[in-house]
Amino acid sequence: MDAASTHTCLARLPSGEIRVLEGEQVHEIDRLLAQPGHLVWLDMTSPGADDLALLAREFDLHPLALEDLEKRGQRAKIDTYPQQHVIVTYEVLPSADDDDFGLGEIHLFAGSGYVVSVRWDASPAIADVDRRFRLRTDAVGTTVGGLLYSILDAVVDGYFPLLDRLSDRIDELEERIVAGSQGTGTLRSVLGLKRELLELRRVLAPQRDIANALLRRDLPLVDDAAVPYFQDLYDHLVRVLESLDLYRDLVAAALEANLSVTSNNLNTVMKRLTAFTVVLMIPTLIAGIYGMNFHFMPELSWPLGYLFALGVMGIGITGAAVYFKRNDWF
């Protein structure tokens, strides 16, 4: 087994007892599955070549499913193979920064009497279901369908705190834009948030289709008793997607508002520059005309000519300034 890989194997016996398979005991999985009434859950992290061989040997996983594990980066989907089904889902990973988040890929293999979860990151959803499975299995699920629902439900529930954080970020951006905070920082934040929402939408839309397929009982793993639970799972995913669509509209509106405020600020600057130009043009015009009379200088016959010119300049500047001030150009 790879040094970096770890796995946990839990087996629920027909009596309700939980048995933890450790070390070489995992090689007993095929014998347990041959006995009716057993439920085996193998959780594996960062599988290596030995782990893939274990999955092929104990669960007879399809070669294409094992190939997906090697390549990773699969889209959220549901695949059906003879005697087994594969679900690829994504969960929100914890982050020290509230403005940042990651998505963890999880592959779920389900067949008669077993569920295998494969991941490459620490999974809050898997950890929560593992804890509840050990303490009270009947609250998690005594069947493959029940255990599968518990894992998927924990994955979807992890998106709601993220939606709250995204909503707070949108509110903060809107306040910054309304307050007139411009520049590349605000625009970069808006575009970054828009890109994150698109990424979430790309990941979650196929997961809704997965829940819908399970709700329609396209897989034989879902019995009549589990249908209401998968209906609840589907409703949660619809709520998440509706919230994402709403946030995308809000971010688009915030982007338009940011561009409008930037345009208005630019117009204000241009108005002020125009007003200053007109105010300065008045004395420049008078001084230019007055200074062109070289042969007949007014001072030769009118000593107050300079004072008169300066007075006209002052009156012109004052009048223009008052006009522009009243029209809010200053």
Any bridge partners for residue 296, and if so which? none
* Residue 110 identity (one-letter amino acid): A
Work out whether the CA dihedral 297, 299, 305, 309 comes out positive or negative: positive
Let me know if residue 164 belongs to a domain. Answer: no
**Which of 17-26, 203-212, 248-257 has the highest mean predicted lDDT (pLDDT)?**
203-212
Do 113 and 104 contact (CB within 8 A), yes or no? no
Of 19-33, 109-123, 148-162, 241-255, the poorest mean pLDDT is in 19-33
CA atoms within 13 A on the CB side of 224: 0
Between 207 and 329, residue with greater pLDDT = 207
Domain boundary among 111, 139, 167: 139
pLDDT digits (tens, 9 = 90+) for 287-297: 776 665 555 55
The domain in which residue 274 lies consists of 265-326
89 inside domain? yes
Which band of pLDDT confidence, cut at 50, 70 and 90, is reported for residue 304? Answer: low
DSSP state of 221: T
> CA–CA separation, 265 vs 262, rounded Å?
5
pLDDT for position 125 = 92
Q: How many CA atoms lie less than 13 Å away from 71 in the CB half-sphere? A: 10
- Single residue among 139, 160, 190 that ends a domain in this structure: 139
Whole-model pTM?
0.77
Number of domains the chain contains: 2
Q: Is the pLDDT reported for residue 120 higher than 60?
A: yes
In a domain, 159, yes or no: no
Mean pLDDT of 266-278: 77
Q: Where are the alpha helices (DSSP H) in the chain?
A: 29-33, 49-59, 63-71, 124-135, 137-140, 144-157, 159-178, 184-215, 227-291, 298-301, 305-326
- Domain of residue 311, CATH code: 1.20.58
Q: Has residue 2 been placed in a domain?
A: yes
Question: Is 163 a member of any domain?
Answer: no
Mean pLDDT, rounded, for 295-308? 61
**CATH code of the domain covering residue 85:** 3.30.460.20
Query: Average model confidence (pLDDT) for the chain?
Result: 82
> Of all residues in the chain, what percent carry a pLDDT higher than 90?
17
Highest mean pLDDT range out of 23-27, 109-113, 294-298?
109-113
Q: Which of 73-87, 161-175, 213-227 has the lowest mean pLDDT?
A: 213-227
In a domain, 292, yes or no: yes
Is residue 274 a part of any domain in this protein? yes
Q: Which of 44-53, 273-282, 298-307 has the highest mean pLDDT?
A: 44-53
Single out the residue in 139, 167, 201 at which a domain terminates.
Answer: 139
pLDDT band at 108 (very low <50, low <70, confident <90, very high): very high
Residue 244 lies in a domain: no
The answer to whether residue 1 scores a pLDDT higher than 50 is no
